[in-house]
Amino acid sequence: MQIKGITQAAADWSGDAIALGFFSSEEVISLPESLGALDSKLSGAIAEILAETEFKGKSGSTSLNRVGGGAEIKKVLLVGLGDEDKWDGKAVRSTGAAIARAVKGDQNIKTLAISVPPLDDAAATAQMITEGITLGLYADNRYKSGDDIKEPALETVDILGIGDQSEAIATGSILCEGTIYARELVNSPANVINPVTLAASVKELADEYGLELTVLGQDECEAQNMGSYLGVAEATDLPPQFIHLIYKPEGTPRKKLAIIGKGLTFDSGGYNIKPSGPSIAMMKMDMGGAAATFGAAKAIAQLKPDVEVHFISAATENMISGSGLRPGDILTASNGKTIEVNNTDAEGRLTLADALVYAEKLEVDAIVDIATLTGACVIALGEEICGLWGDDELADAISSASEKAGEEFWKMPMPPKYFEGMKSPIADMKNTGPRYGGSITAALFLKEFVEDTPWVHLDIAGPAWSDKESDIYSKGGTGFPVRTLVHWVLS
């Protein structure tokens, strides 16, 4: 599919369908003067459609209508833009997604024009529409078969009245590539994406974009005393794969950054096994942090910022076996701290612990970890908002990047006294604390494995997965927060 910005006005364009945006109104919208020429070209069809559908421009609402009489434009799509005073980048992106959902099932729409009020920045308008259209059209049909699977017929999208914005459109497309890569990793079942095949997929990225890759196996991880990570890996028949992918810019990098993603390709809960039903069936998505990490790598490798970025994941499964981790076991992490395991289903933080120690040894300027870590975070913030903990300045930078990406974050507290509930009588700490404040105590646990480097922890347990198609998100893995991570690195 080709997306391009053009200078043409709506009345001068011809093709299969045109999407027309309208801000919301309490009354039925009448034909605006700006569309008079196009309406005349279509023999008054737009005015008739507005009246017949009683269209009021509610945000995200659409109405696709056939235009008769042999007109040069075959269909008109009415699109609600919501309140005019809330028309911003996020709203433009959402509008693009609403348009995509409205047309993607129509096999007769190959060429589409979009006419919406541009933002003050035409390039930003083009990028947001590109992201909305691309992510809204996406559906993961890789594991389906049959003639009823029909990919969208859309071949060309023209964004009217903004001129050539090819660079911004290319950036938007690259951000979507990274997001979709992450979605497909999360959506893949555990018999397709496991620690070994995840490492192989990352190797393909490294080969395609000229990135450096190191994968540490069992022996190498033992040599680095990664007892916390390896404790989780004990029960699986698949070897641990500690993945370290590096992007280096040309010349001297301005900064060195590390992004760490939790990489549990399947999480049974171990001996603290998860209940049967949807809870355990969804656990292929417990590597959403790793998926976002490497999705960001795919985009960053193409956008080529002047910073060095290390993408890290301690990948494994959390399974059950006679040799597996037991409640009550004590593990020693690579920084020498000991952990009494009082819950084998709190395994992600055990893998992240050694990854954080490893990243800090790289002498980076900042570390961000991303993990589907706690159900407590979903209870606190719901399914669409990511919890954020850590260094204030770095947290502000992530929040600023999230505004550009249209992804929602909320800064959470880290009161040191909450760590009291994590203390063990026989080790330095336990891996879980009291029932209340579980996402906070998880963040405090991770903080024990970062000494001096600015660090932020992102708990994406809610927004990493969607049970329904909504806004730019398809059902399943969302690719959250690939775009925020990329905007942060670019900044």
Catalytic pick among 262, 349, 404, 483: 349
* Catalytic, out of 274, 411, 447, 475: 274
Asked if residue 426 lies in contact with residue 341, where contact means CB atoms within 8 angstroms, the answer is no
Q: Compute the half-sphere exposure of residue 265: CA atoms within 13 Å on the CB side of its CA.
A: 26
Round to whole Å and give the CA distance between 22 and 57.
5
Measured in whole angstroms, the distance separating CA 466 from the mean position of its chain's CA atoms is 11
Q: Is 395 left (phi over 0), alpha (psi -120 to 50) or beta?
A: alpha
Cα end-to-end span (Å), the chain:
29
| Token representation of residue 166 | 């090819």
Nearest 5 degrees, angle CA 346-CA 216-CA 354? 35
- Strands 156-159 and 2-5, by their bridges, are parallel
CB 160 within 8 A of CB 6: yes
Give dist(CA 486, CA 491) in Å, integer. Answer: 9
> For residue 119, what is the enclosing H or E element?
none
From 352, 316, 345, select the one nearest 448 (Cα to Cα): 352
Q: Helices 89-103 and 122-137 sit at what angle, rounded to 10 degrees?
A: 40
Which tokens hold the place of 444?
Answer: 């405090």
Which residue, 327, 371, 381, 318, is CA-closest to 349?
Answer: 371
Is 274 a catalytic site residue?
A: yes
Give the Cα separation of 269 and 319 in Å (integer).
Answer: 7
Measured at the CA of 167, the angle between CA 161 and CA 169, to 5 degrees, comes to 60
Q: Which tokens go with 11?
A: 């009345």
Which residue from 296, 209, 305, 298 is spatially nearest to 254, judged by alpha carbons? 305
CA–CA separation, 413 vs 440, rounded Å?
Answer: 7
Q: Is 82 in contact with 56 (CB distance < 8 Å)?
A: no
Q: Does the active-site annotation cover 349? A: yes
Q: Are 239 and 196 in contact (CB under 8 A)?
A: yes
Give the ranges where 64-121 is alpha helix by DSSP (H): 89-103
Cis? peptide before 195, omega within 30° of 0: no
User: H helices of 304-391, where?
Assistant: 348-361, 375-381
**Which H or E run includes 487?**
helix 482-490
Cβ atoms 360, 447 nearer than 8 A: no
Give the residue numbers annotated as catalytic, written as ranges.
274, 349
